[in-house]
Structure 1
Amino acid sequence: MTTEPIWKALCYAKRKAQRDSIPPEWIIPPYPISAYPDIIDVPEICGLLTPRELLISETTDVDEILAKLRSAEWTAVETTLAFYKRAVIAHQLTNCLTEIFVERALARAQELDDYLRNMGKVIGPLHGLPISLKDQFTMKGLETVMGYVSGIGQYASEDCVLVQILYASGAVPFVRTNVPQTLMWGETHNNVFGRTLNPYNRSLTPGGSSGGEGALLAMKGSPLGVGTDIGGSLRIPSAFCGLYTLRPSYSRLPYYGAANALIGQESITSVLGPMANSLSGLKTFTQAVLQAKPWNLDPLAIRKPWAEDEWELSEHGGVGQKLCFAIMWDNGVVKPHPPLVRAMRMVKTALEEMGHQVIDWKPHRHLEIYKNAETIFVADGNHDYDTDCAKSGEPLIQSMVPSLEEEVAEGYKFEPPHPFVKKLVGDNPAHLRAYDLWRLHEEKQELRKSHLDYWEKTINETDTGRRVDAIISPAVAYAAVPHGLNTDSFYTTLCNAMDYTTSVFPVTYVDPLLDLPHEPHQFYNEEDEAIYKLYQTDLFAGCPVGLQLIGRTLEEEAVLRMTYIVDEALKKV
């Protein structure tokens, strides 16, 4: 007889506990992937949600939700219940959740309703708002698995700083969402909870590492989510799932107490940011967190309150004035697929019709930046990942391509892409000496200075008398791809390495009639060739297409305002 490894038994027990945490009356009939690849509309047709719960959960403007909560038109309990039921529907269809704690969240919501009724005022700027959290944000009394079997049974003794601030601001944290093992994948799969699927087409990935948040929010199972980003983990799932997000600069928002991978690697640091179906959610979240003075709770948080003058674009000529945007049509590493090119043309047309200038952005030293960043990420020779896996005996996941068992169960059959990143850093990255790592940090500083100077010189190309105000580019070179095929095309990692504040906004959807394959071009490298060959109009049909807006370091307020300008221009045109 063979004995099943202990780590597998732990995973089974954790998944069973998760299933048992779902109220039985919230279970919906199965929707097989083969018959229902797109399940965006299932919450409306499955029969679980009442008309009022549908009304509440279909409301995507966070400010509108908060206004109804403040006026007591909607109670915190009914709002939390509506989104909770919808979140559980989303989970049964996409496997997006990790921790489900219904009674605890509803008790918190009841406290807020009681306070408003008895005191006649709200607790804070997020009063009564349900907020979903990536499975890194520790909550007292809950496990923080974070994609590793070794996280099972590890109960947090206190809330991380962000959760403390959310409670103080009146929010209702109500679910936590799935992540990949190691966090360092642009997809979402681990040995504990399994694979998260894209609700627009469940044979495709929602991205990662905040992929659980992406799938949940795409299903409108949460009005506002919080993820993290070290190489694109907020922006990739937002682009793949049709969402808005903000990747702030290092330490603008408080990270202390959250679980993480690569702890101690402080050259390219992970940041947290909001994800939502509305821009108002990003702004309101950022204002609320900064209003709480997070620098008094997190020693690394920058002491910079919300700057209203920067929101009014004080360094960009002022609101209402002509701006100059530059479009990065490709990054010199991978050319984007036809839908991304069409989206950039749509943005260019919309901005020009609103009176703004749009010029081309020429990439600057991208391969050097790419290699430097990827080498920093693996400077420990994978010791961090191996150590966490060794605690439980689970294997380190080597590929996000579905296993044979998954292929048989769900009809997957895909070939892995060319591993171009391995060509940059080597198949087996070495565990670098401290001195060698310091030289990488020194090189990164020089690259940041070079890129800053390059941006400054764009003043000679604009009609505004200023340098380029923001760059528009793909967040990823493609729309959501089949599981296992999301490679790093560097559009996002550039911003992490340079620490540029960046947003993502939805633009359109893949249209097979409009997004015809491009003629072959002279490929930059093997990854560029593999991604070119991946494009098939029917494979991507109906998938969201998003772009990113890149600003300068610590320009959160201005980046948000410029994203509003782009979004409004698109809607008008």
Structure 2
Amino acid sequence: MSNSWTTLVADKLQRQRQSIPPGWEISVPPNDVLDVTSVAKDCGSLSRQELKITGIEDVEELLHKLASGELSSVSVTMAFYKRAIIAHQLTNCLTEIFVERALHRAAELDEYLQTTGQTVGALHGLPISLKDQISMEGLETIMGYVSGIGKYSEHDAVLVQILYDCGAVPFVRTNVPQTIMWAETLNNIFGRTTNPYNRSLTSGGSSGGEAALIALKGSILGVGSDIGGSVRSPAAFCGIYGLRPSYGRVPYEGTPNSFEGQDSVLSVLGPMSRSLSGIKVFMKAIADSKPWQKDPLAVRKPWNEEEYNLLEHGHGKELCFGIIWADGVVVPHPPILRALKQTKSALVAAGHKVIDWVPINHLEMNTLIRAIWGSGAFEDITVATSASGEPLLTSTSLLPDSDGQTPHPFKGAQTSAYKLWQLHKRKRELRKEYLDLWEKTIEVTETGRPIDAIIAPVAPYAAPPHGMNKISNYTRIWSLLDYPALALPVTKVNPAIDLKAPPHQFLCDLDKEHYDLYDPNVFVNAPVAVQLVGRTLEEEALIGIGEVVDAALRAIPTPV
């Protein structure tokens, strides 16, 4: 058994290489070339038209060109496919490559438009990338486990069915970590996905392949999943937009996952894009498709245009934000604090108000969420790895374990059903406490309503070196509270201005370890983001508020 899993991996990697059309290979820069974001433009593999197509940032603009016939779906799909293969060679971001299948689909859509003069749906002709977890009929859903090799899906996930109904062209699937529960994208089959802005840094996890691909313009819109930050963290680390919706807003039916059966703090599917328009287009298309008719857990809530237009938030005028500078556990690094200050200044300059938000129970919520997941986590992942005999990863570091015996983080965390019930009960109490805290802000906002959204770090650092993304405190709490959260790019680490701060009075050992990690020259060029948090099932309003924040940031000069 110990040798059979490596044979499976070798066969899968060979099949993956064979799926890349001849002539699409490039000369990959050596490892000491850290920033590879300009390689696709400079390598000569893409035509001027293909560079123009993949350079489009706004998803609505591209959809208009597709719907009008100015661009064909075949040409757009081919352009993104070629750029996706370049991105893969630079960062190792892809798993499934199915060129002929995607181009056949694109050709059908072009013929339909030419014949009828009508589009198939809201996403007509648009190539969309998917995290290697979202099942597609006839493809292996490997999900970072060797045991997934050779197991072909018999059905499309509900989300894929809806994407097809909307006229989309799924064209690649992207890399994930073993178990899908690591904050770094690494597994025993495809290996590690790196950050295109600095390949010595992580692209995050578990949607790290998706984020790296989109950052390199190998896709304009993709789908990841997020249980504790797996959309937001990679989006932030790779300088793109990413939304964690509320439970059930995007259908999950037919999408396998680790920890299936754990339904207290749920994984959700969410869009990732180079533009906020991509986030909006995706969420509106899915909501308008009535996913609750195909997924019993999908929330019955059509897209609400009034909410998007911020009817209950002063129509987007004179908004009031709460801002979290630190969560009481770990103080963010200088680039993160600079991004928060920059966001506050931009909003104030645009006529909005920003007040300090003092977090409550953040440490307890993080402890609670780990206990809920850990109640059966180790048994779950052991079943998946033992099926093939592959080793269970216990670290994502570039260095091997010093003794080869490092325990998995979830080992020993099991608990009784009764104790688990108490955790669920406490989670409900914490949600009520946070709701009351939010409502109480009506006393200080001066708008006649509570704060409109919270601004917070996505992580206490920009993309860290491989194996060092160990703190998910700033994202997990919103998953437990089931608040939608949106990662928004702000700036990049600049060693000339993001100097290491003097030591402070450390909040705990983790805070000191985090402080010691920071060296601006190590983090150079890493994207820096903030997180915008809304209220449960208010995705439309959060996107609308996100556009306000994004516009404010773009209206001010970026510090250099």
> What is the TM-score when the length of structure 2 is the normalising length?
0.97
> For the structure 1 residues 249 and 415, does the alpha-carbon distance in structure 2 shift closer, same or farther, using more than 3 Å as the test?
farther
> For the structure 1 residues 332 and 403, does the alpha-carbon distance in structure 2 shift closer, same or farther, using more than 3 Å as the test?
same
**Match of 1:163?**
160
**Match of 1:102?**
99
- The Cα of 1:403 is off from its aligned counterpart by 4.4
- The Cα of 1:315 is off from its aligned counterpart by 2.1
SS at match of 1:155: coil
Q: Are 1:285 and 2:261 matched, yes or no?
A: no
CA distances 1:20-79 after superposition (whole Å, capped 9, x unpaired): 110121011132112x21100000111110000000011111001101101111100000
CA distances 1:127-164 after superposition (whole Å, capped 9, x unpaired): 00000000011000000000000000010001000000
**Match of 1:400?**
396
**AA partner of residue 468 (structure 2):** L
**AA partner of residue 427 (structure 2):** K
Q: 2:242·2:272 contact (CA, 8 Å) conserved in 1?
A: yes
Q: 1:95·1:196 contact (CA, 8 Å) conserved in 2?
A: yes
1:327 to 323, 328, 331: 323
- The Cα of 1:12 is off from its aligned counterpart by 1.0
- The Cα of 1:375 is off from its aligned counterpart by 0.5
CA distance in 1, matches of 2:385, 2:289: 37
> For the structure 1 residues 415 and 336, does the alpha-carbon distance in structure 2 shift closer, same or farther, using more than 3 Å as the test?
farther
**Match of 1:503?**
486
The unaligned stretches of length 5 or more in structure 1 are: 405-413
Q: Are 1:22 and 2:20 matched, yes or no?
A: yes
- Extract structure 1 runs of 4+ deviating beyond 6 A: none
**Match of 1:522?**
505
**AA partner of residue 353 (structure 1):** A
**AA partner of residue 503 (structure 1):** L
Q: 2:228·2:472 contact (CA, 8 Å) conserved in 1?
A: no
2:360 to 359, 364, 383: 364
**Match of 1:127?**
124
CA distance in 1, matches of 2:327, 2:418: 31
> For the structure 1 residues 301 and 4, does the alpha-carbon distance in structure 2 shift closer, same or farther, using more than 3 Å as the test?
closer
> What is the TM-score when the length of structure 1 is the normalising length?
0.95
CA distance in 2, matches of 1:129, 1:549: 27
> For the structure 1 residues 550 and 26, does the alpha-carbon distance in structure 2 shift closer, same or farther, using more than 3 Å as the test?
same
CA distance in 1, matches of 2:390, 2:476: 29
1:430 to 397, 413, 430: 413
- The Cα of 1:95 is off from its aligned counterpart by 0.4
**AA partner of residue 220 (structure 2):** P
- The Cα of 1:341 is off from its aligned counterpart by 0.5
Q: 2:2·2:389 contact (CA, 8 Å) conserved in 1?
A: no
SS at match of 1:318: helix
CA distance in 2, matches of 1:188, 1:454: 36
SS at match of 1:504: strand
> For the structure 1 residues 236 and 381, does the alpha-carbon distance in structure 2 shift closer, same or farther, using more than 3 Å as the test?
closer
- The Cα of 1:456 is off from its aligned counterpart by 1.1
SS at match of 1:537: coil
CA distances 1:350-399 after superposition (whole Å, capped 9, x unpaired): 11111111110101011111111110010115110000001101111000
2:114 to 93, 117, 123: 117
Q: 1:381·1:432 contact (CA, 8 Å) conserved in 2?
A: no
**AA partner of residue 554 (structure 1):** L
CA distance in 1, matches of 2:492, 2:208: 19
Sequence identity (%)? 55
Show the 5 A alignment for 1:526-565: 526-565=509-548
Q: 1:334·1:489 contact (CA, 8 Å) conserved in 2?
A: no
CA distance in 2, matches of 1:200, 1:428: 34
CA distance in 1, matches of 2:41, 2:402: 35
Q: 2:77·2:127 contact (CA, 8 Å) conserved in 1?
A: yes
Q: How much is the aligned-residue C-alpha RMSD, in angstroms?
A: 1.5
Show the 5 A alignment for 1:203-218: 203-218=200-215
**Match of 1:457?**
440
Q: 2:259·2:377 contact (CA, 8 Å) conserved in 1?
A: no
CA distances 1:494-541 after superposition (whole Å, capped 9, x unpaired): 100110111011001111111111111111222111111111111111
- The Cα of 1:415 is off from its aligned counterpart by 10
Q: Are 1:178 and 2:175 matched, yes or no?
A: yes
- The Cα of 1:195 is off from its aligned counterpart by 0.4
**Match of 1:6?**
4
**Match of 2:88?**
91
SS at match of 1:13: helix
The unaligned stretches of length 5 or more in structure 2 are: none
**Match of 2:301?**
304
Q: Are 1:485 and 2:468 matched, yes or no?
A: yes
CA distance in 2, matches of 1:457, 1:114: 56
**AA partner of residue 166 (structure 2):** S
CA distance in 2, matches of 1:162, 1:428: 33
CA distance in 2, matches of 1:262, 1:347: 36
Number of residue equivalences: 553
SS at match of 1:287: helix
> For the structure 1 residues 392 and 257, does the alpha-carbon distance in structure 2 shift closer, same or farther, using more than 3 Å as the test?
same
CA distance in 2, matches of 1:326, 1:512: 28
